[in-house]
Amino acid sequence: MRIDRKRLETSIEELGAIGATPRGGLTRLALSDEDRRGRDWMVARMREAGLRISIDRMGNIFGERAGTEPLPPVMMGSHADSVPTGGKYDGQLGVLCALEAIRSLNDHAVRTRHPVTLVIFTNEEGARFQPAMIASGVMAGKIALEDAYNARDKDGIRLVDELERIGYLGPEPCVARPIRAYLELHIEQGPFLEEEKLSVGVVEGIVAISWSRLTIHGVQDHAGPTPMRIRHDALVAAAEVVTGVRGIARDLGGDVVTTVGNLTVAPNIVNAIPGRVTLSIDMRDPRTETLDRARERLDRIVREAYEREGVRYELEHYWQVPYTPFAPEVIAAVERAATTVGARWRRIRSGAGHDAQYMAAIGPTGMIFVPSHDGRSHCEEEFTSIEDIEDGANTLFLAALELAGRA
Ligand SMILES: [Zn+2]
C-alpha cells in the first residue's frame, strides 16, 4: 500500500496557493485572513475524507478517523501558519502528508484498532504571536491559556480576539489527552539529508536550546571631540562578544551552534559613541551539559569584553529547554516504515523546535524529516522534491498504520 503522489502534489499546490507570494513562497501568518482561508480549505478536505472535526480553545483543529476499539488515537500533523515571505513546505507539508495518509487508508478501506487523528496546530512559527509553538505548549500544560490568549502581535491585537474573528475559537478544552503516538513530518531545514543524498531522516530528538540576553552600558558621547583613550564604547564591547560567541562553537566543537541574531544599538546615529547595546545569544546542542559549559564560556567572554572596554553589563540566561528525546518505539516504527518504503534514510536530530517537542511531554512521539534544498527554509526558495516528499509521506503512512494497528 502506498499514498497517491499525484493527489498529494495537487493538494500542495492548492493549499500553497492560499497566501502565495509572487516569487513562489508563502505568507500565511497565524490567524490572518490567509490562515483562515487555509484552515477552511483543510477542514473541507478533512470532511470529504469523512473525518469528525473538532476545534479546541486555542484553535487547534482535529479530524478523527474512527478506530474499531475505544483506544487513544495515533495523532499526526503539524502547523499551517508560515513566517512572512516563507516557503510552502514548512508546516503545511506535514499537515498535507497526514491528510494524504488518511485518504490512503480510505482508498484501501483499511480499518485500524486505534483512531487516526489529523491535527493542525495554531501559531507554531511565533512570527506573529510569541512564543512559538504556543498552542501545543498550552495543550501540554507548559503555557497558561490566559497567557496565550493575551499574546499580542506588533499592532497590539490579542491572539484570542483574532481566533474569534476568523471563527476558530473552538469549544473543546485545550488539554493533554491520552495518545497512542504523535507523528510529525517536517522539512529538515538543514543541509545534511541533501548532502548525503538521502530522502528521509528518522528524527531521534530535538536539540537542547539556551537563550541569553546581554545589555551593555557604555558612555554615550560625541564622535568628534572625544579622544579614543577615554571612550567606553558599548558597541565595541558587543563586537567582541559577537566574535566570542562564534568562538564558543569553534572551541567546544561537535554539534554545538551559537548565534547572535539580534542587536539593538542606542542611539544608533553616525556621530555618537554607542551608549547602550542589547544583543541576543542562541546556543544549541544535543547534549544539555554542553550548553552548561557554553554558558560558562559566555560569562567569561562578556566579563573580558567589559574589562577591556570599561563598560557595565547585565547578562541574563532567561530560557533553556533540555534535549527532547523521542520515543524508542515510535523511532523504531518510523525506521521499519522507511525501510519498507525503500527510502534512503538515516537517523538525525532536529536543530529547530517543533510542536512535536511539546507533544513528547504528552505521549510517545516521533518525527520524519524530508530534505531541504540547500538546507534553506523560512524563505521563498524553500524546496523539497516530490520524489523525496513521496518517500516521506509513505513512511508516515506506514508508521501511522503500524502504530494504529490493523483491525
Ligand atoms: Zn515548521
pLDDT per residue of the chain (407 residues) written in tens, 0 to 9: 999 999 999 999 999 999 999 999 999 999 999 999 999 999 999 999 999 999 999 999 999 999 999 999 999 999 999 999 999 999 999 999 999 999 999 999 999 999 999 999 999 999 999 999 999 999 999 999 999 999 999 999 999 999 999 999 999 999 999 999 999 999 999 999 999 999 999 999 999 999 999 999 999 999 999 999 999 999 999 999 999 999 999 999 999 999 999 999 999 999 999 999 999 999 999 999 999 999 999 999 999 999 999 999 999 999 888 999 999 999 999 999 999 999 999 999 999 999 999 999 999 999 999 999 999 999 999 999 999 999 999 999 999 999 999 99
Residue 368 and residue 145: Cα distance in Å, rounded? Answer: 29
Query: Ligand 1 center to residue 125 CA distance, Å?
Result: 7
Please give the backbone phi and psi of residue 290, each rounded to the nearest 5 degrees, phi first. Answer: -60, -35
Query: Ligand 1 center to residue 170 CA distance, Å?
Result: 23
Amino acid 145: pLDDT: 98
Query: Ligand 1 center to residue 63 CA distance, Å?
Result: 20
Residue 29 and residue 265: Cα distance in Å, rounded? Answer: 28
Query: Ligand 1 center to residue 274 CA distance, Å?
Result: 37
Query: Ligand 1 center to residue 90 CA distance, Å?
Result: 5
Amino acid 298: pLDDT: 98
Query: Ligand 1 center to residue 79 CA distance, Å?
Result: 7
Query: Ligand 1 center to residue 77 CA distance, Å?
Result: 11
Amino acid 100: pLDDT: 98
Amino acid 399: pLDDT: 98
- For ligand 1, a single-atom ion, the residues with CB < 5 A are 90-91
Query: Ligand 1 center to residue 378 CA distance, Å?
Result: 9
Query: Ligand 1 center to residue 368 CA distance, Å?
Result: 12
Query: Ligand 1 center to residue 185 CA distance, Å?
Result: 10
Nearest in space to 366 (alpha carbons), one of 392, 340, 405: 392
Amino acid 32: pLDDT: 98
Query: Ligand 1 center to residue 288 CA distance, Å?
Result: 23
Amino acid 321: pLDDT: 87
pTM of the full predicted structure? 0.92
Query: Ligand 1 center to residue 80 CA distance, Å?
Result: 8
Query: Ligand 1 center to residue 18 CA distance, Å?
Result: 17
Query: Ligand 1 center to residue 217 CA distance, Å?
Result: 37
Nearest in space to 149 (alpha carbons), one of 168, 165, 135, 128: 135
Query: Ligand 1 center to residue 267 CA distance, Å?
Result: 36
What number of residues does the chain have? 407
Query: Ligand 1 center to residue 357 CA distance, Å?
Result: 12
Query: Ligand 1 center to residue 117 CA distance, Å?
Result: 19
Q: Are 255 and 205 in contact (CB under 8 A)?
A: no
Nearest in space to 249 (alpha carbons), one of 154, 181, 389, 351: 351
Query: Ligand 1 center to residue 92 CA distance, Å?
Result: 8
Amino acid 95: pLDDT: 98
Query: Ligand 1 center to residue 264 CA distance, Å?
Result: 27
pLDDT in tens, 229-281: 999 999 999 999 999 999 999 999 999 999 999 999 999 999 999 999 999 99
Query: Ligand 1 center to residue 326 CA distance, Å?
Result: 17
Query: Ligand 1 center to residue 78 CA distance, Å?
Result: 7
Query: Ligand 1 center to residue 154 CA distance, Å?
Result: 21
